[in-house]
Structure 1
Amino acid sequence: MALYVYSVTAGTHPHRLDGLTGVGESPSPPRTVTAGPLAAVVSDVTEEIRPKRRDLAAHQEVQERLMADGTVLPLQFGYTAPDDLAVRQALEDAADDYLAALGRLTGCAEYHLRASQEEEPLLRRILKESEEARGLNDRIRSGVADPRLPVALGELVAREVEQRQDALAASLVEALLPFAREHAVHPHSAPDFLNLSLLVSDGSKDDFLTAQADLADRTDRTDDGVELRLTGPLPPYSFVQ
């Protein structure tokens, strides 16, 4: 029978899996497959697993239960293996890498920061601070019938938005890096201009949360329409290598 694989842990992890249900139309309870000092948390599946809301929630619930009791190497949603033997072989083949990752991530959690910005306040600031943008806008508003003007203004504003948001994103990352062991900047899509993961140790968690809250407060007081959204603690998906 095929297996859905949730994560890898140390074999000594308590694996409190009682009451959890796995993924799939007819979910099986999660269980472990062990190989030497390692264990994989799996459940039996009989069909191809797709990212339905219920299954995504079940996947995450297993990760969070495991994370509450120790270090976990979470797999991304959708990883399957043909049987117990294949899982055991994979653990044995990559044992050194898994053990190193477990050691590196011990006592840490992932925090995820997204930053977005309302368009209107940013455009107002660009028109206020950019003489060139303001001049183009004034000519358009005065009725100058030159089709090149809107194009030129649009290109200028797009450049200004990118430059300003890149600079702001860099400053946000720089402010939080002292509190993180590792970080990863992910691709983002509008309206977000920053998609950042940080690996934070338990010992730095309080200082990190204080720094992030202060940063959010200062950002909010600029009246630039910037919003910071923090989630965590999370299983360290972004830092499993």
Structure 2
Amino acid sequence: MAVYVYSITSKDHPMRLDGVHGVGEPPGTLRTLRTVTAGALCAVVSDAPDGLRPKRRDVLAHQEVQERLMADGAVLPLRFGMTTESDETVRAALADRAGEYQERLRNLAGTTEYNLKASWEEEPLLRRILRESDEARDLNAAIRDGSGTPQMSLALGELVAREAEVRQQALAKGIVEALHPYVRDESFAPPGGHDFLSVSFLVRADQEEMFLATEISLANQLGEECEVRLRGPLPPYSFV
């Protein structure tokens, strides 16, 4: 039977997994967690159920394993759905990449992940551009009083797009720089929807309080025009 792999950690991790079950339909042994050890490393695994899909029950089970392990030490969390052939395959992978995995665990020790996304409401951003850009304001006035041309409308649209990008990039840089002193690493992702920033921070445990206080202060300073959304603490998927 295939093996489902949840995470990799050190052999001396407490592994307090009592009462935590793996993915798959209960009851039976499919949901029973076990460990596979190679040298100083250990992987948390279970038998992999057939036809596994990302159902809410199984995603939550996967997440609960990560959170329980995170509470007691550094862990390399694997994404949902990672399977391999057998315990021996897992053991071989741990042995082959032992140095790499141990280095990653050292980097993650005493940290946790937070994900931050930020968006800027379209109307307030447009008002700011018209207030701060003489060129945009003149074009808009001409269009509104009927003296403008189709070319002016196109020029205004292009100008607003450029100005919006400049302001969003500057704000994204400012947010990241303000939080940077409290983190060990950063991982950027392409923002989606109306977001102009999507970044994950690897936050040091001894700086977590200051990180959270700074994020709250930034959100208050930005006001209602900008929405800042912070999720965490999370398993450090972005830094594995």
TM over 0.5: yes
Rounded to whole Å, the distance in 2 between the matches of 1:75 and 1:146 is: 56
Aligned-partner residue type, residue 9 of structure 1: T
Aligned CA RMSD, in angstroms, stands at 1.6
Rounded to whole Å, the distance in 2 between the matches of 1:180 and 1:202 is: 9
Gaps of 5+ in 1: none
Contact 1:17/1:31, CA 8 A, preserved across alignment? no
Rounded to whole Å, the distance in 2 between the matches of 1:85 and 1:66 is: 22
Rounded to whole Å, the distance in 1 between the matches of 2:148 and 2:124 is: 27
Rounded to whole Å, the distance in 2 between the matches of 1:54 and 1:128 is: 51
Alignment of 1:171-182 (within 5 A): 171-182=174-185
Partner residue of 1:232?
232
Partner residue of 1:106?
109
Rounded to whole Å, the distance in 2 between the matches of 1:29 and 1:141 is: 68
Matched, 1:203 2:202: no
Contact 2:23/2:49, CA 8 A, preserved across alignment? no
Contact 1:5/1:81, CA 8 A, preserved across alignment? yes
From the superposition, tell whether residues 145 and 200 of structure 1 become closer, same or farther in structure 2 (CA, over 3 Å): closer
Rounded to whole Å, the distance in 2 between the matches of 1:41 and 1:149 is: 62
Query: Shift of residue 165 of structure 1?
Result: 0.1
Gaps of 5+ in 2: none
163-172 or 57-66, larger mean C-alpha shift: 57-66
Match of 2:146 among 134, 143, 148: 143
Aligned-partner residue type, residue 3 of structure 2: L
> What percent of counterpart residues are identical?
57
DSSP 3-state at the match of 2:230: strand
Partner residue of 1:40?
43
Deviations 1:176-207 (A, max 9, x none): 10111111122111311111111111111112
Alignment of 1:76-91 (within 5 A): 76-91=79-94
Rounded to whole Å, the distance in 2 between the matches of 1:165 and 1:42 is: 43
Aligned-partner residue type, residue 11 of structure 2: G
Q: Return the TM-score normalized by structure 1.
A: 0.92
Contact 1:8/1:72, CA 8 A, preserved across alignment? yes
Rounded to whole Å, the distance in 2 between the matches of 1:44 and 1:144 is: 72
From the superposition, tell whether residues 101 and 139 of structure 1 become closer, same or farther in structure 2 (CA, over 3 Å): same
Q: Return the TM-score normalized by structure 2.
A: 0.93
Query: Shift of residue 162 of structure 1?
Result: 0.7
Partner residue of 1:22?
22
Q: Flag as ranges the 4+ runs of structure 1 deviating above 4 A.
A: none
Q: How many residues align structurally? A: 237
